[in-house]
Amino acid sequence: MSELTDLVYAYYVAGPAADLSVAPRFYPHGELVLIFEDKVSISVRKFGTKARGCAKEAGARFIDAMIEKGAWSTKQNEFGGSMHAFQADRFRTALAELQAEDENVQRAKAEGPEYWEKAFSGLVA
């Protein structure tokens, strides 16, 4: 993953992901990737088109990490694919774990909101 994609992912994890609201049903993985590509793209739009161009990869990384941490349950469907359902009770804990694991999120906590502006400006100029 590129440095810019890492930053886009971290920005989403650090803030906008906390406002996640999901309909209680099962989704195929591909649909979740599209949904989170859109959510991430919207969250980083103020940083320009280069940042938005990383949204698909960052969104897929987010959903895969959340599935791994149990924030989305998984079941196999009758056609051999897997489906995932949001687990609200596990989501907050999983998000806190992602935030604690990410260096950019930790730097932003230490330096404040201006961290994002500085970090993105060096990569999207």
pLDDT digits (tens, 9 = 90+) for 43-73: 999 999 999 999 999 999 999 999 999 999 9
- Across the range 87-97, mean pLDDT stands at 95
Q: Does residue 75 sit in helix, strand or coil?
A: strand
Q: How far is CA 88 from CA 20, 23, 25, 91, 118, in A?
A: 10, 10, 12, 5, 33
With a threshold of 0.85, does the pTM exceed it? yes
